[in-house]
Amino acid sequence: MNQKEKILYALLLLFFISLFTGSLAAYSSIATGALFLYGFFFNSLSEKWQLLKERKHILAMLVFYGFLVVSVLLSEDKDSGLHHLKLRLPLLLLPLGVGLLDLRREFIDKVLLSFATITCLVLFICLLSSIYFSGFFAKPEFLYNDALTVILERQSIYIALLVNISIFIFARAIFYSNHKHKGLLTLGTLFLYGIAYLLASRIMFAWLLVVTTGFSFYYVVKHRKLLEGLTLVLGLVIGTVVVNKTLPLTFNRYKEVAYSSFKFENMGRESHYNMQITEDQWNGVNFRLAVWTCGMELFKENLVLGTGLGDKDAALKEKYAEKNFQYAIQTDRNVHSNYIDILYSLGLVGMLLFALSWIGLPILQALKSQNGLAVLVVLTFAAAWVSEVYFARSIGATLTGFFLPFLLLVLPPEKDSIVLNDFDDLK
């Protein structure tokens, strides 16, 4: 690495650490700001202008943020709108600071493996702390979900996303590189699979299983390695069964699907993975169905431009009051879906811009570059956005604003690259 790359690498490591430090908001802001400034001046403005013309997805991301600004200007509550703009600021700064870099493939690969390693180490510390807080397994509920990440002061849904991305990075290095420490990478991958289970994010763990199963079948067919593929699938099944028998609470969250009916006026307590599920409770499934209903009704009432970014909170509370949805009002809940949040606040125009800039064009760019990892990560974010409003928190916007533009820096692979050289067979 040259001197400029060394400084950028150090700033990236500090940024990665900040993703796991929820209580240190000032440090996170400084790390993100430093990365943006150094990245913005890493290459010349003329080079950035040329790259911007080539990278249509970055231009679309900037246009989407511009539409957010317009939405605030059209809103009555400008203060609320500016607050939401601030939370979404990484969607502007990181594509500008990171998405217009021109980096060597080897440097990008090193950065990604460093991120996955940091994730592994941080979650190992989390596991040790949870074991301690559980009284060395006497209270197993301290090993799951948000309790596992309590020392980070980050919600487990965001950490589960980072764990999935790290697993994909390790897997790429294991199967498509000549990395000299594949044994350690394999151990790290298996460890993160266990952590993904304990984090108990329904959609992220289900997506991880889908990707793993799909890749196993692809690998068997493509490389005709039946034994290795079957071993991978069998190991996954056996491991899941064993872990479920030993630590069964995660699958309690999937049982909530059977209790999807709801009444808006219900003031029953909210179920938890460590509780017996009953019909009179709110749970992760029926509560989302209830708030999604409210969000979709608001969208139908404001089809084109939505309620406006500044007025969306007030409009949602009014809809809750109309439905006598007191539980949602008292707990100050949002609609728990990035898509529905965008639909009702920004309308069809906002949704089309969002889908184009953060899903459609990134996938097209990844396919053009034969970058299988980027495709997986875009789809992983797309899945995560189904059940949470990622842009309602700065960490959600930061994760989105960094990983998608950074992964799309990869150009079409050379024969000796560790990127999926045979990805064209998946098209």
| Strand residue runs (E) in 168-290 | none
Other C-beta atoms within 10 Å of 332: how many? 9
Of 299, 305, 309, the residue nearest 86 (C-alpha): 309
Q: Is 196 exposed, middle or buried (0-12, 13-18, 19+ CB in 10 A)?
A: buried
Contact 170, 192 (CB under 8 A): yes
Structure tokens at 53: 């013309």
Q: What is the pLDDT of residues 117-154, one digit of tens each?
A: 999 999 999 999 999 998 888 887 788 888 999 999 99
> What are the CA-CA distances from residue 17 to residues 38, 97, 102, 379 (Å)?
17, 18, 23, 24
| Tokens standing for residue 140 | 């197993």
Element counts in the chain: helices (H) and strands (E)? 20, 0
pLDDT for the residue numbered 99: 96
C-alpha 28/C-alpha 395 separation (Å) is: 9
Residues lower than pLDDT 70 in the chain: 225, 228-229, 232-233, 236, 239-240, 242-254, 272-275, 412-427
Phi, psi of 270, rounded to the nearest 5 degrees: -90, 135
Within 10 angstroms of residue 258's Cβ, the number of other Cβ atoms is: 11
The SS3 assignment for 270 reads: strand
First CA to last CA distance, the chain: 34
Residue with the two structure tokens 């700033």: 11
What are the two backbone dihedrals, phi and then psi, of residue 282, each rounded to the nearest 5 degrees?
-85, 140
Structure confidence at residue 341 (pLDDT): 98
Residue 139 CB: number of other CB atoms within 10 A? 13
From 42, 374, 69, select the one nearest 51 (Cα to Cα): 42
Local structure of 87: helix, strand or coil: helix
Q: List the domain boundaries for the chain.
A: 104-258
- DSSP letters along 291-335, please? HHHHHHHHHHHSTTT-S-TTTHHHHHHHHHHHTT-HHHHHTT---
Residue 148 CB partners (closer than 8 Å, separation 6+): 126, 127, 130, 156, 195, 198, 199
DSSP-derived 3-state class of residue 108: helix
Provide the pLDDT for residue 175: 87
- C-beta of residue 262 within 8 angstroms of C-beta of residue 282: yes
Evaluate whether 120 touches 165 at the Cβ level (below 8 Å). Answer: no
